Structure 1
Amino acid sequence: MIIDSHQHFWIYDPVRDGWIDESKKVIRKDFLPSDFELILKSNNVDGCIAVQADQSEKETNFLLELADENSIIKGVVGWVNLLDSNVEDKLAYYSKCKFFKGVRHIVQAESEDFMLRDDFQKGICKLAQFGLTFDILVFPDQLKNAIELVRKFPNQKFILDHLGKPFIKDKKIKNWESDIRNLAQFPNVACKVSGMVTEANWEDWKTSDFDKYLDVIFESFGVKRVMYGSDWPVCLLAASYKQQLNILQNYLNSFTERDKNKVMGANAIQIYKL
């Protein structure tokens, strides 16, 4: 079974979605399960995890409603304000929904030390009691603080999104590699192979551009803590769904069928309790 562990749905709003600027006009429109279902079927993908793209409970409710109505959605990683004093009540409410699997905050848009804030960490410490994951979305210069975060919460399941966004376009790897290897030492952290094509040269990437970054991820996390994600529709800025999927599948050609199955679906099922 293949599970796409990371993709988004939205009804385009020019105010809310201001991050979709002129350079991203190809995704400046609605993307809904009706658009995605045929894409998954044509690529032999069995289901997906819908991940928040907007920091609002309205977004979380929207994704949960879509999950109720569309069988392709196997889980939702939503947004809850982890800084609120009533965060425990909010998590208790959402955790009653069978599709609500975890929380994500767009930390890449925050200050470098955001993950070290007491109010943020007070929110993080509430997740484990509800069996919820936390997706870490950061830029490379925030990875060191991500390491400090996961060190403090050994019983919390964390998932690093998009490989920590390495500078693939600029072919930089040294500092990112060191931080990734340190982060992966914590067994409560997994990693999504997602969002790679948009970190490369959108117009002129090659499959081989990603090999050394994938080598680091698999050497560091191993096949039990890596999962496939498309980052659709954002991936469309640089590649079709099939093209981004082929990058990972080609890389896995020399792996055993058992290990391929872990990366392509079984790990997501286990980590997100699908």
Structure 2
Amino acid sequence: MFIDTHLHIIDRQALRYPWLAGVPPLDRDFLYRQYAQEAQRVGIKAALHMEVDVAPEAIGAETDYIRGLSAEPGNLIVGAISSCRPEEADFPAFLERCKADPFVKGFRRVLHVMPDELSEQALFRENVKLLDGSGLTFDLCVLPHQIPRAAALADLAAGTQFVLDHCGVPAIAAGDPHPWRENIAEIASRPNVVAKISGVVAYADAETWKIETLAPYVEHVIDCFGWDRVVWGSDWPVCTLGGGLSTWVAATHALFAGASEDERRKLYSENARKLWKLSLPA
């Protein structure tokens, strides 16, 4: 059974997603009911919704929309990772509101499509420091060359748990493990960073990838972080670019067939349950 730590819902009738216009395969609705039917068939028992980089004025509305979905009987969603803007002066007030909302489990500021310098701005860094003591996590979605900047953010708030999304977005299709490989080892030396084994099929060649294509990247992350500092995520619907949810779950089972039952349990659900303090049946 899986806890999916990286689910995106796209509902263009409810919210505005400016970036979708530049990604035609994803520029349509991907609704909860589509996800849930497939997720339940492949053994996903709970999910955290990951922000979808909505228009800035809709950040609160996105959380409220997902909260409404989660209230429906039998819904799999147990919390939300909210978008945020640490580069803005009103972040401290936003943080206080989120700390008072038990549905919000953490934050993410998309960085892989932003200038490298964004995370080095003084205000951004001061606001990240405010996360210490909040109990909220911070997801890091960065390109391989940006991983050292992500590590620098983790150093600013040693009491905050950071989550490196998508194995650090390795260039699998290009077959280029550098500087990703070295940078993964470096960021893994921070005890307050965990890695998310999520949706890496989207970074492989959709027509030609095999388990053997993914294995060296996933195994390197496990080797660097260890079984106690990894969580699993689908990255649905982005994973549809590399085969889809069922394909990624099947690949996961194949990739970790040689792991022990205890190791798989930690990756698939237990580490996430502990990290986000999720009250779910064992």
Q: TM-score, normalised by structure 1?
A: 0.93
CA distance in 2: counterparts of 1:41 and 1:57, whole angstroms: 28
Gap regions ≥5 residues in structure 1: none
**Runs of at least 4 residues of structure 1 off by over 4 A?**
none
Partner of 1:114: 118
Q: Please tell me whether residue 141 in structure 1 is matched to residue 168 in structure 2.
A: no
Query: Match for residue 19 of structure 1?
Result: 19
Specify which of 222, 242, 245 is matched with residue 241 of structure 1: 245
Q: Given that residues 125 and 156 in structure 2 are in contact (C-alpha distance below 8 angstroms), is that contact kept between their aligned partners in structure 1?
A: no
1:223–1:262 CA contact under 8 A, matched in 2: yes
More displaced stretch, 143-152 vs 63-72: 63-72
Q: Secondary structure of the residue that 1:46 maps to in structure 2? A: strand
Supply the RMSD in Å over aligned alpha carbons: 2.0
Shifted more, 209-218 versus 233-242: the winner is 233-242
Question: How far is the alpha carbon of 1:229 from its aligned partner?
Answer: 0.6
Match for 1:100: what amino acid? V
Tell me the equivalent position of 1:58. Answer: 61
**Which moved further from structure 2: 196-205 or 84-93?**
84-93
Matched pairs, number: 273
Q: Structure 2 unaligned runs (5+)?
A: none
C-alpha contact 2:6 2:50 (8 A) present in aligned 1: yes
Q: Using the alignment, how far apart are the partners of 1:42 and 1:65 within structure 2?
A: 23
Find the aligned partners of 1:171 and 1:117 in 2 and give their Cα distance: 33
1:130-171 per-position Cα deviation (integer Å, ceiling 9, x unaligned): 210000011111111112221222111100001111100011
Q: Return closer, same or farther for 1:169/1:84 CA change in 2, 3 Å cut-off.
A: same
Q: Quick check: 1:104–1:134 contact (8 Å CA) kept in 2?
A: yes
Deviation of the 1:234 alpha carbon: 1.2
Counterparts of residues 1-274 of structure 1 (less than 5 Å):
1-12=1-12, 16-21=16-21, 24-25=24-25, 27-55=26-54, 56-69=59-72, 71-274=75-278
Structure having greater relative contact order (Cα 8 Å, sep ≥ 6): 1
1:72-122 deviations in whole A, cap 9, x for unaligned?
001210113223333222222122222210000111121112222111112
Normalised by the size of structure 2, how large is the TM-score? 0.90
Going from structure 1 to structure 2, the CA distance change for 1:242 and 1:129 (only over 3 Å counts) comes to same
